[in-house]
Amino acid sequence: MKKSINLIFLLTAILIFASCGGNKKKESVLTEKATLSVNTLKDKIKGGWAGQTIGCTFGGPTEFKFKGTMIQDYQQMVWYDDYIKEIFESDPGLYDDVYMDLTFIEVLERVGLDAPADSFAISFAHDDYKLWHANQAARYNILNGIMPPASGNWMNNPHADDIDFQIEADFAGMMAPGMINTASEICDRTGHIMNYGDGWYGGVFMAAMYSTAFISDDLDFIIEQGLKPIPEKSRFYQAISDIIKWHKQYPTDWKQCWFEFEKKHTSEKGCPEGVFNAFNIDASVNAAYVVMGLLYGQKDFYKTMDISTRCGQDSDCNPATAAGILGVMIGYDKIPAYWKPAIEKVQDLKFPYSDLTLNQIYDLSYKHATTLIARNGGEIKDNSITIKVQKPEILRFEQSFEGMYPTKELLVRKDFLDESIKLDFTGNGIVVLGNVKSQCGVAKSDFVALLDVYIDGVKTEQVRMPYDYILRKYDIYHKYMLKNSDHKIEIKWVNQNPDFRITMKSYVVYSDSPNKKFNPGQAEASK
């Protein structure tokens, strides 16, 4: 009788164990050390850079053509063996995802792995490649004496939460295999050049996933580790956490996950170009599309890129990051053969806006990685590399645009030749969008418009606006954290030149509280 009871107890315990997850996938845990062969480390680094370049090219034709909507299944993506080479030649500006990384790698090689933020800032600000949003605002700041971290702070940079550093942090993860805190420290030096808050966290998150992809092939674990340095109360953390939750709820339906995310997380607050339209270059939004590609792509190289692209918005940067992380995880050798001829045709060509080739980049990233591995308690011996794996540390909390809520946009689209720009507004902040244009089709000029800015009758500063596209000021003027009240702004062009004009596109007004939803029927009924 006793044996029968024990047998029943054992069978019951087995059934309970099975029902409570005994048949579930074994969860990954962070080990203290990880060992790779030299060839494996090199193969993973190559896979990361190749994946990033392939992904950027794959999504290039769709970039910001699908804003607030997904790309439908019937739209096919272009690919052929000469595709990357042709884009290198015809549209090199597409690769801002990569050539900014290369600038940082060049600085590390020239100055050393402890290069200060100013070295990175000065180098990228003086390069002649095209930049946009937070990068261009930071370039202007640096060239005009505002150095990091102030150059990326939201008070000086209206694009502080934009995607920029998120697409440039790949190098930090690839030179810090298994060493998330080391990658975060590199991101602190470089990411605050152009971003702050969620914009900075985006880069840290991506670098941490790259770092973890060297030591794990569990995508859930890679994403979980990537998120650990990010403070939980940040909007960025909450956005990615929701993607993880919805993936578990809808494990085979990325479109339903996308819909849930759009409903909750796509309200833009920072970038003045996106707050009142469907354009969204926010880091957290586009990071969510990267994570969707990784989770729903299920380690399939094509599916990962395809889903990250079809989510829309910055749909070249997002598949670039997703394919880069997956490329590290699986290594170059396991990237399907279909994609390799295109990348192999350009590996010995100088990358756009760089003196480095991809083959040289592979070698430099390996060199920097092994140096950091040894410096951080690891060991390189014969053909074996042992990494002392770091437990992620949570970073300080940063939040951009606190106390700022977009309440109004007025489209102006007006040229100013000899009169001042005069604006009346009620709120605590304003961004005036526009640029300097030529009256006579001048392609290149060193002309710089000088604009005196008066707020409520008091001159506050003089703004320099270069005509040169590389040196341009991204927005005419911005000012945050004013007293929330009525204000008058006057912008006087003090060195007027008949060959040029100031074009104001629009202006965005902020307040210390959000607009209340207006229901005209309800207002009529209350009369």
| Predicted local distance difference test score (pLDDT) of residue 22 | 43
For position 21, what pLDDT does the model report?
43
Q: How far apart are the first and last CA of the chain?
A: 83
Alpha helices in 376-496 (DSSP H): none
- Mean pLDDT, to the nearest integer, of 335-357? 96
CA atoms lying within 13 Å on the CB side of residue 436: 28
What is the reported pLDDT for 4? 45
Lowest mean pLDDT among 16-30, 58-72, 257-271: 16-30
Cβ neighbors of 99 (< 8 A, separation 6 or more) are 92, 129, 351, 352, 353, 354
| Residue indicated by tokens 């690919």 | 79
Q: For the chain, what percent of residues have pLDDT higher than 70?
A: 93
In this structure, are residues 59 and 91 in contact, taking their beta carbons and an 8 Å threshold? no
**In this predicted model, what pLDDT tens digit does every residue of 40-91 receive, in sequence order?**
999 999 999 999 999 999 999 999 999 999 999 999 999 999 999 999 999 9
pLDDT computed for residue 524 by the predictor: 57
Q: Cβ neighbours of residue 115 under 8 Å, at least 6 residues apart? A: 107, 108, 189
More confident residue, 1 or 105: 105
For residue 15, what pLDDT is reported? Answer: 39
Residue 518 has a pLDDT of: 63
**What global pTM score does this model have?**
0.93
Q: Identify the pLDDT of residue 517.
A: 73
Which of 36-45, 176-185, 361-370, 412-421 shows the lowest mean pLDDT across its residues? 412-421
Contact 129, 93 (CB under 8 A): yes
Write out pLDDT tens, residues 292-322. 999 999 999 999 999 999 999 999 999 999 9
Between 38-59 and 317-330, two packed helices, what is the crossing angle to 10 degrees? 160
Q: How confident is the model at residue 9, as a pLDDT? A: 43
Q: Which domains does the chain have, with CATH numbers?
A: 33-388 (1.10.4080.10), 405-511 (2.60.120.260)
